[in-house]
Structure 1
Amino acid sequence: SPDSIHLARWPQVNFDLIDEQLSADMAMVQHVTSLGHAARQNANLKVRQPLAQVVVRTRNAEEEAALRRLQQFVLDELNVKAMSFTHAGGDLVDVVVFPYPKQLGQKYGKGYPKIRQAMSGLDQAELAARFQAGETVEIEAEGERYAVAPEDVEVRVTPRAGFSVAQEAGYLVAVTTELDQALIQEGYARELVRRIQQLRKDAGLEISDRIVTYIADSDLMHEVLAHFGAYVREETLSVELVQLHATQGDQAPENLPHVSFDLDGKTITVAIGKK
């Protein structure tokens, strides 16, 4: 073996091992998950908060098939429980195409009101898709034809209730925004894991060190640990989760790394000790 990896030669590429289909599929996953994260941000939903579903509209059947092949990557990256597909963006959003009076007024003068009236009677989702694809659309109004370019209009998109949406170049990704109690508690569990992991790091523990985790008991933590205690133990390598009851005089051993943080308006205190 070489004295140092920095002195080693670059390996020879075996082009026969390149899977072009897999590369194309993964590129589609990256594009859709990027839009999914944008949809989350639009609704101020942190990635640690699990969501029930993501709904995707692709441009063609091949792209949909690519996402189905790599579905688990999408679910994991966006932290959602299920993925479904739609072929009609109107299922998720209300779309209105608004013609700019300044641009079209300068182009066509008194023809602008006719254009606006004619456009309002067209299928808004179909019209929006054409403009978003960069197409100049010919509008017929009172026997005259007007060429309307994408820069002459604004596509206004309003998500349907219960969804947050992001779209780009014919792709549309929506995440559900309604949270049931199970999803909320799982989000709390993930936040608890994050805090414990940070405590481990700050305490200089090795990645394989087992710990005992002490958590100040509350109705909130009691419910979270009742349903997700096994998940917390596994993720943090906690051999024990000790719930401390302050009213009974319980307290964690002194001088242990600890942190207090807000969760759903309640102060949660956690301490850890190496086992």
Structure 2
Amino acid sequence: VQDFVTDQLSNWYVRLSRRRFWKGELTTDKQAAYETLHECLSTVAQLMAPVAPFFADWLYGNLTKGRDAAESVHLTHLAEADTSLIDKALEERMELAQRISSLAHSLRKKSVLKVRQPLQRILVPVLNDSTKEQVGKVEDLICAEVNVKHIEFLDDTSGVLVKSVKPNFKRLGQVYGPRLKAVGARIQTLSPSELSELEKQGELAVEVEGETLTLHLDEVEIRTQDLPGWLVATDGPLTVALDVTLTDELRQEGLARELVNRLQNLRKDSGLEVQDRIKVALAASAPAELQAAVHSFGDYIREEVQAQRLDFVPEVAAGAVLEFDDFKVSAHLEVVST
């Protein structure tokens, strides 16, 4: 229950559905988002009741306030699983999305690239049409999660990504015992085509000392070398290559996102309500690169911070100093009366 709430519900579903929750009008999509969250929390309240009775009752009470429901979660019948609602294909897509996103995040961390900095693309080699189709259906979700413009697929990695293989001696020792050394030597001589077949099929028939053996993926460790301008990470048969080349446009968009973050924090620190519309004044002494980013992405900034106006002015009276990366700019917010 704890893993589900933390990893699947909070860090995945709720975080990726924030814009659905924040929409002003009650659309069908917004209602579906809330109903899904309500169903999950209601069931979690029942499941956690035996080990956290007081908190479970508090949660259940808040979820059912004003409804025709049992007085306490401890007086409810435990929800029964409805197997007709299980969608295995959807679960596989979500797992792929999470794994690809996790690899991309690890590469960002490796290269010290903030998630707010947009990147152009990620490259995903696919071993079969089914995987390509599954990833394609969650491409928008992945792009939003790791902040890239699009995903490119490779049907054959042998000519683009350079891979190397080494024996998993711990696993080989369990399977082959005294033949460990001979099998390990054969693994190190696998050709690119043999390695590709092992990845696609999950197993490969090889000859070792005159005997045919079947190698499995868990008996080898496959690594992918970084390409110029790319960072590469692997999780089992899944490989992700992240394009870390920054164009001027991408840099400007990254600055715009950083500015949005600081302005949102300033809204919060100023005690503004979510629905408050504002005017934003920025000091004209701001660095030229930041000014260029504001001019290029002004519409995006205004929409995100709910600003009717966003202007550079000669002087900012009683403003706050916003700092990010190597930039500083004075800013002042003013609520627009309606």
C-alpha change, 1:5 and 1:32, in structure 2 (3 Å) is same
Aligned counterparts of 1:45 and 1:229: Cα–Cα separation in 2: 23
Which residue pairs with 2:254 in the alignment? 187
Could you tell me whether the CA contact under 8 Å between 1:54 and 1:83 is conserved in 2? yes
Deviations, residues 91-119 of structure 1 (Å, cap 9, x unaligned)? 55322234589999x9569x77x964x55
Deviations, residues 102-138 of structure 1 (Å, cap 9, x unaligned)? 999x9569x77x964x555431574488499986975
TM superposition shift of 1:268: 2.9
Aligned counterparts of 1:107 and 1:33: Cα–Cα separation in 2: 40
Which residue pairs with 2:329 in the alignment? 268
Task: Tell me which amino acid in the other structure corresponds to 1:243.
Answer: F
Task: Tell me which amino acid in the other structure corresponds to 2:328.
Answer: T
Q: Does 2:260 correspond to 1:215?
A: no
Number of residues paired by the alignment? 261
C-alpha change, 1:150 and 1:64, in structure 2 (3 Å) is closer
C-alpha change, 1:62 and 1:223, in structure 2 (3 Å) is same
Q: Does 2:244 correspond to 1:177?
A: yes
Task: Tell me which amino acid in the other structure corresponds to 1:232.
Answer: I
C-alpha change, 1:153 and 1:170, in structure 2 (3 Å) is closer
Aligned counterparts of 1:199 and 1:212: Cα–Cα separation in 2: 13
Aligned counterparts of 1:31 and 1:147: Cα–Cα separation in 2: 28
Aligned counterparts of 1:29 and 1:45: Cα–Cα separation in 2: 20
Which residue pairs with 2:99 in the alignment? 31
Aligned counterparts of 1:162 and 1:176: Cα–Cα separation in 2: 6
Could you tell me whether the CA contact under 8 Å between 2:278 and 2:307 is conserved in 1? yes
Aligned counterparts of 1:22 and 1:136: Cα–Cα separation in 2: 29
Aligned counterparts of 1:52 and 1:95: Cα–Cα separation in 2: 23
Q: TM-score, normalised by structure 1?
A: 0.76
- Higher strand proportion (structure 1 or 2): 1
Query: Please, which runs of 5 or more residues in structure 2 have no aligned partner?
Result: 1-60, 70-75
Aligned counterparts of 2:104 and 2:274: Cα–Cα separation in 1: 31
TM superposition shift of 1:63: 2.3
Query: Please, which runs of 5 or more residues in structure 1 have no aligned partner?
Result: 245-249
Could you tell me whether the CA contact under 8 Å between 1:129 and 1:170 is conserved in 2? no
Could you tell me whether the CA contact under 8 Å between 1:96 and 1:125 is conserved in 2? no
Could you tell me whether the CA contact under 8 Å between 1:58 and 1:170 is conserved in 2? no
Task: Tell me which amino acid in the other structure corresponds to 1:61.
Answer: D
Aligned counterparts of 1:182 and 1:228: Cα–Cα separation in 2: 10
Aligned counterparts of 2:189 and 2:81: Cα–Cα separation in 1: 57
The equivalences for 1:41-60 within 5 A come to 41-60=109-128
Aligned counterparts of 2:278 and 2:133: Cα–Cα separation in 1: 44
Higher mean displacement: 148-157 or 34-43: 148-157
Task: Tell me which amino acid in the other structure corresponds to 2:316.
Answer: A
Deviations, residues 225-247 of structure 1 (Å, cap 9, x unaligned)? 12101111111111111213xxx
Could you tell me whether the CA contact under 8 Å between 2:158 and 2:196 is conserved in 1? no
The equivalences for 1:1-275 within 5 A come to 5-6=63-64, 9=69, 15=82, 18=85, 20=87, 21-98=89-166, 107=178, 116=185, 119=187, 121-124=189-192, 126-127=194-195, 130=198, 138=206, 140=208, 155-216=222-283, 217-244=286-313, 250-254=314-318, 256=319, 258-263=320-325, 265-275=326-336
Aligned counterparts of 2:139 and 2:122: Cα–Cα separation in 1: 11
Aligned counterparts of 1:30 and 1:180: Cα–Cα separation in 2: 27
Q: Secondary structure at the match of 1:89?
A: coil
Deviations, residues 154-189 of structure 1 (Å, cap 9, x unaligned)? 544311112112211211112111111111110110
Could you tell me whether the CA contact under 8 Å between 2:121 and 2:149 is conserved in 1? yes
Higher mean displacement: 39-48 or 201-210: 39-48
Deviations, residues 9-35 of structure 1 (Å, cap 9, x unaligned)? 479789497361434433332232222
- Higher helix proportion (structure 1 or 2): 2
Q: Secondary structure at the match of 2:225?
A: strand
CA RMSD of aligned residues (A): 3.9
C-alpha change, 1:53 and 1:151, in structure 2 (3 Å) is closer
